[in-house]
Structure 1
Amino acid sequence: MENLGLAIIFWYGILHAFGPDHLTAIADFSIGKSKKKTLFITTLFAIGHGITLFVFAKILQTYHISDAVLGYGDTISSVVIISMGIYLLYMVLNDKIHLKKHVHENKEHIHIWFGDEHKHDSKDSVSAFSIGMLMGIGGVRGMLITLGVVESQNVDFMLVGAFTLGVMVIFIGFGAIILYINQNLLNSKQNIRRVFASAGIISVLVGSNMIIG
């Protein structure tokens, strides 16, 4: 039964990751990034997601919290998605997304960055981990329902690990699609503006639909 329970939680993680809010968040963070950075970001997002689910599931095992209060988790996820969309649109409209090409070892490399100065830092990674944690609040109810299905109310690292692995499989797979876009479409300033503007609009629409729904 234990192995079956882990398999069910893993499958729930896969289904959970297909949510438009999660895929939108991954797209917003991964567009314009290198292969290594895209993989790192999607992995951190999934881990942050799993940690939040584990912490809140443990809290809910001890304290009763009404569904109305838990519903605010979905609202938080929606606000995060809308905020990311507005940010991307702001950067596009104010021409703060830049592209630079150079040739290294007979291979063309493209660097895309936000703001006025090109810097290599860990802000994207930290942000992806933090956003993953925030959006994890919205998945607590579904995870607990799934735990009820497998007749287990004991949330441990094995269960959360199985869930996180399921989420990670989809996130990394979707990251590969974004990587294809990065390598084949983001080769001019015009295309960059179009892709980032589209991502921003989709983020606002998805987040707004979640709030209205």
Structure 2
Amino acid sequence: MIEELIQQLPTATPFFVLVAGFMIGLLHAFEPDHVVAVATQNSKSPQKSSMSFFRQVGSGAIKSSILGALWGAGHTSALVLVSLLIFVFAMNIPNEMFDNFEFGVGIMLVILGLFTYLNRKLFGQKHIHTHTHDGVIHTHPHTHDKAHRHGHKSYIIGCVHGLAGSGSLVVLALSTLHDLETILSFVLVFGIGSIVGMMLVSSAIGLPFSLTLYSERINKILRYSVGSISIIIGIDIMYHIVANGNFFGLTIN
């Protein structure tokens, strides 16, 4: 469906361009590598909480949608950057470069899958806290517990995806448009569509994890499934890039 919408852009009215941009962004969010990347950020072990079951489920769904929105924001930021470089600063970005970033996405998905499978954080969340004791200022590194969430990881993951296959997709669509105002408008509504789509995806993924917060066994099954799928998709992405003959700009026969 995305390809059909792109084919209609050259002869489309400005309103259709905006609608198509939103729909392409919305559908784009449901691609398997995007879904599994956000799923790894939603997976977590059961934690004790004083909240009621329904309040905890609702809170989990809200947090999941926020993570999805941050992924979409990062995705949009990268696409805006690519669009500015190509259509404003007239830079030529070869398709091989997008393949290189796509290979990086494959590596990222494998790493995210491994850390999800092991139930460990990809980055340690350390902060420096200071206090005064006997007139002397002390500093202590502090690592937050599992309940502490940092959305910047989802934002960074979205940026990486935006520079990968998403970049070539948007460049293809924008190459059919005629003026800078229409191009920037398309990128904006595409970004809004991807944010909305990923919020829906992330909320749907976060719900089952919220429902299993009181069951360690079921939670492990879900977490192991997400980790395994992430690793499989990551390896598949890397394999196809190598099999197609492009590996970091090198031609492979």
- TM-score tier by shorter-chain length is 0.7 to 0.9
**Structure 2 residue identity aligned to 1:149:** T
Task: Report the equivalent of 1:47.
Answer: 73
Aligned-pair distance for 1:122?
Answer: 4.1
The TM-score, its normalising length taken from structure 2, stands at: 0.68
Q: Deviations over 1:43-100 (max 9, x none)?
A: 11101100001101211232112211221121122111111001112237xxxxxxxx
Pick one of 57, 60, 74 that aligns with 2:86.
Answer: 60
Task: Report the equivalent of 2:101.
Answer: 73
The structure richer in helix per residue is 1
**Relative to structure 1, is the Cα distance of residues 63 and 43 closer, same or farther in structure 2, using a 3 angstrom cutoff?**
same
Q: Matched residue of 1:34: which SS?
A: helix
**Relative to structure 1, is the Cα distance of residues 73 and 117 closer, same or farther in structure 2, using a 3 angstrom cutoff?**
closer
**Structure 2 residue identity aligned to 1:159:** F
Q: Matched residue of 1:181: which SS?
A: helix
Indicate if the aligned counterparts of 1:8 and 1:150 stay in contact, CA closer than 8 A.
no
Question: Where in structure 2 are the equivalents of 1:13-162 lying within 5 Å?
Answer: 13-32=25-44, 34-61=60-87, 62-91=90-119, 118-123=145-150, 125-138=151-164, 139-152=166-179, 155-156=183-184, 158-162=185-189
With 34-43 and 48-57 compared, the bigger mean Cα shift is at 34-43
Give the distance between the partners of 1:164 and 1:7, measured in 2 at CA: 12
Task: Report the equivalent of 2:128.
Answer: none
Q: Kindly report structure 1 stretches of 4+ aligned residues shifted beyond 3 Å.
A: 119-122, 149-155
Task: Report the equivalent of 1:98.
Answer: none
Indicate if the aligned counterparts of 1:17 and 1:171 stay in contact, CA closer than 8 A.
yes
**Structure 1 residue identity aligned to 2:85:** I
Give the distance between the partners of 1:12 and 1:150, measured in 2 at CA: 15
The TM-score, its normalising length taken from structure 1, stands at: 0.79
Segments of 5+ residues of structure 2 without an aligned counterpart are 1-12, 45-58, 121-142, 241-253
Indicate if the aligned counterparts of 1:147 and 1:153 stay in contact, CA closer than 8 A.
no
**Structure 1 residue identity aligned to 2:188:** G
**Relative to structure 1, is the Cα distance of residues 55 and 117 closer, same or farther in structure 2, using a 3 angstrom cutoff?**
closer
Over aligned residues, Cα RMSD in angstroms? 2.1
- Asked whether 1:180 is paired with 2:192, we answer no
Give the distance between the partners of 1:84 and 1:41, measured in 2 at CA: 15
Q: Matched residue of 1:24: which SS?
A: helix
Task: Report the equivalent of 2:198.
Answer: 171
Indicate if the aligned counterparts of 1:45 and 1:129 stay in contact, CA closer than 8 A.
yes
> What is the number of equivalent residue pairs in this alignment?
188
- Which protein shows a greater Rg? 2
Give the distance between the partners of 2:176 and 2:227, measured in 1 at CA: 37
Q: Matched residue of 1:127: which SS?
A: helix
Segments of 5+ residues of structure 1 without an aligned counterpart are 93-115
